[in-house]
């Protein structure tokens, strides 16, 4: 039998290795930006075309390279960062494996221009799929420019697996954010298809965060600052009330390198105790400085994971730092005994003796001699407000809530019932009485279901939108702006009249009928959060997902007490809509209590006596 094991050709081996490092255009951008940082650049420009599928270019003013270094940089495992294995535990640079440019060159057409400050001319190298096509001396400014063209041109199957331009652009913007936030002293810019997305000047971390995510973030940030023997923690955490439904704005940096760490994320959440609403995640931008000897960054090809030699200590310091920061800046609830407003006396009342409240007592009332209601004793207090028609007719011999009879059929019930069949329990619950049972539903869920059905029924028509007297401009960060552009048509069909204005801004000319104008930004942000949080289901049912967010917002506004007529109209509208027994999320809308259940409960009580 002949031998069957063969050594792979270098080109094939390079393409296989590249698959671990370069998954999409954003991966190539990450490697090139990190090289620019390692080169000591003070200004970096990023130029992208067709979401990186046609071009990803990074231009920096760093130290540049000699002709030999430029040529060697495309060889596998060629690096200037380490010399021996022990150097892996002394790493302070972003790159160190020497795989990035070699991997990119194996699956793309690469053009490199570089020049050192002390040299009069630079070098230009062109490579197609690991093959060096040309190398020549050129005139170029100091620094390095790397252009990656037609990524995966020689691996069509891999190129076909790339997502839509909007999705790939989001990944590119996210990688740009990570490097820009990690290095606020670096001036960076991003241009996509000829449009300037970002131009960020060198500054401090707070300026960089507000430059990326918008000026409102300046008021949301709480600074963190703590030092211990092993680590130094600095950065910002957003106040709990600004927590989001996705983990998008969570950034850990270890010695300037972006990392993902669920363990440390748990520490941050633990430091906020019960200040976070259920299902929300805090936003944070946290730098961790530690001795490289106590770190291992050589864990994953993407270099987004690190290992601390004492994770528990770092966890404890992180949790304590967050708690101390929230307490120091009075984010956590406190009671100020020195200035308790309950004890403050208005100036015009100073010197006056407050009068005690008057109490009136009906001395003729005797509960043991009061008229009995047939079938159940005295009617509960407040029943007249719940069943006004019975209260008005009580003296005329009409039935009271002590004894109820039901004669309507299910069809008659849905078509419309007498007012006495409806009621409320406080302001949060609706009560509907049917023959042999009582149904209780959350007022919020009922209102949400009605609005949701109405939005879907009128989607695309003018009746679902109300025009604004004064159109308002709503700005977003680049990632959210790109996301909103992707679903713009679906948002417009459900009542938002929005038009792109440039500079990551939409002008809102109309909003869904019944929605408050002041809620416009919040609703659009919630739509985007829903997209990020449930991307798969959102894409398959965009209209339903957007309608759900709008309906939820409108339902929150319904807090005023309802009159009996309003209760009746609300219930009748519910049963006139589709799926009246189910909430928007698909769960049961009503809790049913049947007469049999009540009998069993009372029998159980008697058996315990």
Q: Do domains 206-328 and 383-394+405-444+562-608 have the same CATH topology?
A: no
pLDDT at 176 over 90: yes
Does the domain at residues 459-556 carry the CATH identifier 3.40.630.30?
A: no
Q: Tell me which residue of 453, 402, 435, 469 sits closest to 582, measured CA to CA.
A: 453
Return the SS3 of 577. coil
Q: What does the alpha-carbon distance between residue 20 and residue 104 come to, in Å, rounded to a whole number?
A: 11
> 285: alpha, beta or left, given left = phi > 0 and alpha = psi -120 to 50?
beta
| pLDDT at residue 397 in the model | 40
Banded model confidence at residue 191, pLDDT cuts 50, 70, 90: very high
Residues 6+ positions from 386 with CB-CB distance below 8 Å: 401, 423, 424, 431, 564
Return the SS3 of 135. strand
- For residues 125 and 71, the answer to whether their CB atoms sit within 8 Å is yes
Q: Which two tokens stand for residue 210?
A: 């507000």
Banded model confidence at residue 20, pLDDT cuts 50, 70, 90: low
pLDDT at 504 over 60: yes
| pLDDT at residue 125 in the model | 94
Least confident of 71-85, 104-118, 201-215, 358-372: 358-372
Please compute the mean of the pLDDT values over residues 121-138 and round it to a whole number: 92
- Higher-pLDDT residue of 386, 125: 125
> What is the residue whose two structure tokens read 């007249």?
384
Q: Which two tokens stand for residue 394?
A: 């009580």
Least confident of 78-82, 409-413, 581-585: 409-413
- Higher-pLDDT residue of 107, 86: 107
Q: What does the alpha-carbon distance between residue 132 and residue 71 come to, in Å, rounded to a whole number?
A: 9
Taking only the tens place, the pLDDT of each residue in 546-582 is 888 888 888 887 777 777 778 888 888 888 887 888 8
Reported pTM: 0.69
Q: Which two tokens stand for residue 56?
A: 């990803």
Q: Which two tokens stand for residue 519?
A: 């809620």
Does the domain at residues 10-203 carry the CATH identifier 3.30.565.10?
A: yes
Least confident of 43-52, 323-332, 506-515: 323-332
Taking only the tens place, the pLDDT of each residue in 156-175 is 888 888 888 888 988 999 99
Give percent above pLDDT 90 in the chain: 24
> What is the residue whose two structure tokens read 């520490």?
267
- For residues 4 and 10, the answer to whether their CB atoms sit within 8 Å is no
pLDDT at 292 over 90: no
Q: How many residues does the chain have?
A: 609
Q: What does the alpha-carbon distance between residue 461 and residue 449 come to, in Å, rounded to a whole number?
A: 20
Please compute the mean of the pLDDT values over residues 373-398 and round it to a whole number: 44
| pLDDT at residue 417 in the model | 52
Chain-centroid distance of CA 434 in Å reads 42
Q: What does the alpha-carbon distance between residue 453 and residue 445 come to, in Å, rounded to a whole number?
A: 12
- Higher-pLDDT residue of 413, 596: 596
Banded model confidence at residue 502, pLDDT cuts 50, 70, 90: confident
Q: What does the alpha-carbon distance between residue 225 and residue 410 come to, in Å, rounded to a whole number?
A: 65
| pLDDT at residue 19 in the model | 63
| pLDDT at residue 387 in the model | 45
Q: What are the E-state strand segments in 412-459?
A: 422-425, 429-434, 437-442
| pLDDT at residue 190 in the model | 94
Q: Residue 592 forms beta bridges with which residues?
A: 439
Q: What does the alpha-carbon distance between residue 308 and residue 320 come to, in Å, rounded to a whole number?
A: 18
> What is the residue whose two structure tokens read 């015009």?
348
Please compute the mean of the pLDDT values over residues 184-189 and round it to a whole number: 95
Instruction: Give, in order, the Cα–Cα distances in Å from 109 to each of 16, 28, 102, 199, 258.
Output: 17, 12, 12, 27, 28
pLDDT at 247 over 80: no
- Higher-pLDDT residue of 113, 472: 113
Q: What does the alpha-carbon distance between residue 244 and residue 221 come to, in Å, rounded to a whole number?
A: 14
> What is the residue whose two structure tokens read 């967050």?
322
Q: Whole-number mean pLDDT of the chain?
A: 79
Q: What does the alpha-carbon distance between residue 387 and residue 439 come to, in Å, rounded to a whole number?
A: 16
DSSP string, 147-159: EEESTTTT-HHHH
Residues 6+ positions from 206 with CB-CB distance below 8 Å: 218, 221, 236
Residues 6+ positions from 309 with CB-CB distance below 8 Å: 294, 295, 296
- For residues 431 and 440, the answer to whether their CB atoms sit within 8 Å is yes
Please compute the mean of the pLDDT values over residues 274-280 and round it to a whole number: 80
| pLDDT at residue 184 in the model | 95
Q: What does the alpha-carbon distance between residue 589 and residue 445 come to, in Å, rounded to a whole number?
A: 7
Least confident of 77-86, 415-424, 597-606: 415-424
| pLDDT at residue 390 in the model | 44
| pLDDT at residue 300 in the model | 62
| pLDDT at residue 88 in the model | 59
| pLDDT at residue 299 in the model | 58
Please compute the mean of the pLDDT values over residues 212-238 and round it to a whole number: 89
Residues 6+ positions from 479 with CB-CB distance below 8 Å: 170, 173, 174, 177, 248
Banded model confidence at residue 531, pLDDT cuts 50, 70, 90: confident
DSSP string, 367-398: TTTSPPPTTTSSPPTTHHHHSHHHHHTGGGT-
Domain segments of the chain as ranges: 10-203, 206-328, 383-394+405-444+562-608, 459-556
For strands 187-192 and 195-200, give the pairing. antiparallel
Does the domain at residues 383-394+405-444+562-608 carry the CATH identifier 3.40.630.30?
A: no
| pLDDT at residue 123 in the model | 94
Q: What does the alpha-carbon distance between residue 63 and residue 591 come to, in Å, rounded to a whole number?
A: 70
Give percent above pLDDT 70 in the chain: 78
> 167: alpha, beta or left, given left = phi > 0 and alpha = psi -120 to 50?
alpha
Q: Which two tokens stand for residue 381?
A: 């207090």
- Higher-pLDDT residue of 94, 578: 578
Class of CATH domain 206-328: alpha beta
| pLDDT at residue 403 in the model | 35
pLDDT at 34 over 70: yes
- For residues 105 and 127, the answer to whether their CB atoms sit within 8 Å is yes
């Amino acid at each position: 039998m002949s031998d069957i094991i063969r050594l792979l050709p270098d080109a094939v081996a390079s393409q296989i290795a590249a698959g671990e490092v370069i998954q999409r255009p954003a991966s190539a951008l990450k490697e090139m930006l990190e090289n620019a940082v390692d080169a000591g650049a003070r200004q970096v420009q990023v130029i992208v075309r067709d979401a990186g599928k046609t071009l990803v270019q990074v231009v920096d003013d760093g130290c540049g390279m000699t002709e030999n270094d430029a040529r060697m940089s495309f060889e596998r495992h060629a690096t200037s960062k380490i010399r021996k294995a022990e150097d892996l535990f002394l790493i302070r640079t972003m790159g160190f494996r020497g795989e990035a440019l070699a991997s990119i060159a194996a699956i793309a057409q690469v053009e490199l221009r570089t020049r050192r400050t002390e040299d009069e001319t630079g070098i230009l190298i062109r490579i197609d799929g690991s093959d060096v096509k040309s190398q020549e001396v050129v005139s170029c400014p100091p620094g390095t420019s790397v252009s990656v063209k037609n990524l995966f041109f020689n691996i069509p199957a891999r190129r076909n697996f790339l997502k839509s331009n909007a999705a790939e652009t989001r990944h590119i913007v996210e990688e740009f954010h990570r490097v820009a936030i990690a290095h606020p002293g670096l001036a960076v810019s991003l241009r996509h298809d000829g449009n300037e997305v970002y131009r960020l000047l060198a500054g401090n971390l707070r300026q960089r965060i507000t430059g990326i995510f918008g000026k409102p973030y300046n008021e949301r940030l709480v600074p963190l600052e703590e030092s211990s023997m092993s680590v130094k923690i600095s950065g910002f955490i957003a106040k709990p009330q600004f927590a989001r439904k996705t983990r998008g704005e969570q950034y850990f940096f270890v010695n300037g390198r972006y990392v993902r760490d669920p363990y440390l994320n748990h520490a941050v959440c633990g430091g906020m105790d019960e200040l976070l609403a259920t299902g929300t995640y805090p936003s944070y931008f946290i730098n961790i400085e530690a001795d490289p000897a106590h770190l291992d960054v050589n864990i994953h090809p993407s270099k987004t994971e690190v290992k601390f030699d004492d994770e528990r200590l770092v966890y404890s310091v992180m949790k304590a730092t967050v708690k101390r920061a929230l307490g120091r800046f009075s984010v956590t609830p406190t009671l100020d005994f020195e200035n308790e407003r309950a004890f403050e006396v208005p100036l015009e009342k100073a010197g006056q003796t407050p009068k005690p409240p008057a109490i009136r007592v009906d001395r003729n009332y005797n509960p043991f001699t009061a008229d009995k209601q047939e079938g159940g004793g005295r009617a509960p207090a407040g029943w007249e407000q719940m069943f006004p028609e019975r209260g008005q007719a009580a003296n005329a011999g009409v039935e009271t809530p002590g004894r109820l009879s039901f004669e309507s059929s299910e069809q008659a019930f849905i078509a419309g019932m007498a007012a006495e069949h409806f009621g409320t329990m406080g302001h949060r619950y609706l009560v509907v009485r049917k023959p042999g049972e009582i149904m209780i539903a959350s007022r919020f869920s009922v209102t949400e279901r009605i609005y949701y059905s109405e939005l879907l029924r009128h989607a695309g028509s003018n009746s679902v939108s109300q025009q604004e007297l004064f159109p308002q401009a709503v700005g977003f960060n680049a990632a959210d702006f790109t996301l909103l552009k992707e679903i713009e048509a679906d948002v417009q069909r459900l009542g938002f009249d929005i038009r792109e204005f440039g500079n990551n801004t939409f002008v809102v000319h109309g909003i869904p009928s019944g929605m408050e104008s002041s809620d416009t930004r919040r609703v659009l942000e919630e739509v985007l959060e829903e997209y990020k949080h449930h991307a798969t289901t959102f894409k398959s049912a965009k209209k339903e997902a957007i309608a759900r967010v709008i309906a939820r917002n409108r339902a929150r506004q319904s807090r005023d007490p309802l009159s009996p007529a309003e209760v009746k109209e609300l219930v009748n509208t519910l049963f006139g809509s589709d799926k009246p027994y189910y909430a928007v999320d698909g769960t049961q809308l009503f809790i049913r209590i049947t007469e049999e259940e009540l009998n069993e409960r009372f029998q159980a009580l008697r058996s315990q006596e």
